[in-house]
Amino acid sequence: MWNYGIQLPESLYIPPNLTTIILPTLNEEKYVSRAILSIQSQNIVQAAPQRFEFLVVDSESDDSTAAIASSMGVTVVSAPRGKLSARDIGIREAKGDVIFATDADTFYPPNHLNLMLRHFQDASTVAVYGNAIIEDPPLIWAITWLRTFIPPRRMLGNNSGFRKDAYFKIGGFDLSIDQQDNEQMVQEEEFRLFDRFESVGKVAYEMGTAAMSSGRRWTGADSAWSAEVKARKRFIEEAGYL
């Protein structure tokens, strides 16, 4: 495992109020335990577990995803299919003042939350975002690693946080879009959300750590994602995001 971004600062930033970590799932039994364990192993979660709430929002999985999450001590919330709908339900269920967005196929280095959440010490900061390193293939890994040092101006759904009151202030996600259309999803979840948060406050970028994301959506290694792989490649080619 590549240990990017786990250098410890002089002290841990323990959030003064509750932070809710939200992980949306749909048939993620192959990946979800690694993601949950990486969050549970965060240094600030270990140091102050009372400051964190962890919700898995499961969208009608027909595998053992929900059972795995429950067995690991995580609260499972049921939601209809549609990632943005699931995230929105999780946010409305959340007790935390700050929401942190994660994905089931992503690993988070042990110091990740500490580095991301410390930005909320600035009262003017309404959101924080970082980058994600694609574990495979090497070319995509290299490109995304380089982009860690160039703020991409997109709120990655697997590596971003925001104040809950700011989410409602900007109207939340536009749930009227076609959530089965990958291009519409990327635009709403990552780009438009970024712009709306920036309209009400400071959006900070954390370059000291990066989430480690599976390459399944790029390589087609997981047959369940074959359609999304094709859609993402077409979207990137046409939009020039890489």
> Quick one: which of 205, 18, 204 has its CA closest to 125?
204
Which residues, 6 or more positions from 94, have their beta carbon under 8 angstroms from its beta carbon? Answer: 20, 22, 53, 55, 164
Confidence of residue 7 (pLDDT cuts 50, 70, 90): very low
Is the pLDDT at 224 greater than 50? The verdict is no
> Quick one: which of 38, 210, 54, 196 has its CA closest to 130?
210
86-108 pLDDT, tens digit per residue, is 999 999 999 999 999 999 999 99
pTM of the model: 0.82
Among the ranges given (98-112, 164-178, 184-198, 216-230), the one the predictor scored with the smallest mean pLDDT: 216-230
Among the ranges given (7-11, 181-185, 212-216), the one the predictor scored with the smallest mean pLDDT: 7-11
Structure tokens at 41: 């192993």
71-88 pLDDT, tens digit per residue, is 999 999 999 999 999 999
Average pLDDT of span 229-242: 41
